[in-house]
Structure 1
């Protein structure tokens, strides 16, 4: 009887020890191994996906570059205009004035290919180079005269603004050539506006060359968008 009892006890102990080894990875009372570390996401995965980043970048560069000549140049021109008798705007009158001018420009530029962008109190007109100029030329094409006539008419109606005319190019050709071409194109547009009633004192011209693309220069379509002239209207503030 004692022999049978001992055999049963041994069998039970053997079964219990086997169960502990299976469930705990070791015998009862031993320290289990640390859990396996999960792979951490790469920085690209942890943040925005490439698709989202591409969409964000596309939205950002789709906005016109806006004022390029700098605050000091604009302030000097504003003071000169006030000295010349152009009334300065202040407070809520600024936003209301630009609201009305923006509305007039959107109506007159509709269907012309000219984009109208509002950034705070500034308004920028983006004029595509393929309709404004012939290829590799700085003379305004005659078919674009009616559009510039409407721009000039609006600027003379709303004369309490500084007018910056900025030329832009794609990245084909040398930096120096593109810079020169952008300056000549800006000067051509500014000269046309001045000849149609816009005060010379209001005009600032600047060439940006290829430094401010609004689309990829890797495609013909993108380069066409980057060849442009932008006119930015800054209110004269008191």
Structure 2
């Protein structure tokens, strides 16, 4: 094994250690995310492009890491405040996104994809957040319980996700920053054999993701 290959493997090993050390912490600090990204990028760059490749890889990795380390605290607090008492849950995810989980009890009537008035305060806050933060995009995902035919549930979940996406678009969010997907009954989070479980499975999730840090042009 020659010296150049040993050097490359050493850089990659260091990058791996840095990633492992930071991966357990949800990225709420841009510096942490940037460091992890830079380390990963440097390791890959060293393997495939030598010293110059390490420098380039570190730069690319830092940009990705910075997005992973997006600071959601203020946005999370605002959405949580607007949805207080509704059963909506706002949580940071391991992939760096912010998930807004809205229960069906406030969002849609049975077999309907018309947005209920009790849903609008949450959606208004999400739309305002997206308008104020052009570096963010939103993915809307609809879910149902297992009652009824799978094909019907799939269509209903898609229509509900699209209703939410259309609402956000009508409140100033550019359509290209939005996506809608229905997953029907395919991703339960609770037992469909109980009413309480089915109620949890009937939900809409909105994932907010950063494509850049605040103030950056993307």
- Report which of the two structures shows the higher radius of gyration computed on alpha carbons: 1
Normalised by the size of structure 1, how large is the TM-score? Answer: 0.58
Candidates 192, 205, 208, aligned match of 2:167: 192
Contact 2:83–2:121 under 8 Å retained in 1: no
The residue that corresponds to 2:185 in the other structure is 210
- Structure 1 segments, 4+ long, off by >3 Å, are 89-94
Candidates 66, 73, 80, aligned match of 1:99: 73
Candidates 124, 140, 146, aligned match of 2:121: 146
Q: Which has the higher helix share?
A: 2
**1:134 partnered with 2:103:** no
The residue that corresponds to 2:28 in the other structure is none
The 2-side partners of 1:204 and 1:193 are apart by 11
Per-residue deviation, 1:153: 1.2
Contact 1:171–1:210 under 8 Å retained in 2: yes
Per-residue deviation, 1:102: 2.4
The 2-side partners of 1:151 and 1:197 are apart by 11
Normalised by the size of structure 2, how large is the TM-score? Answer: 0.63
Contact 2:82–2:121 under 8 Å retained in 1: no
**Count of residue correspondences:** 150
The residue that corresponds to 2:89 in the other structure is 115
Structure 1: which 5+ runs fail to align?
A: 1-88
Structure 2: which 5+ runs fail to align?
A: 1-62, 213-217
Q: Output the aligned Cα RMSD.
A: 1.8
**1:234 partnered with 2:209:** yes
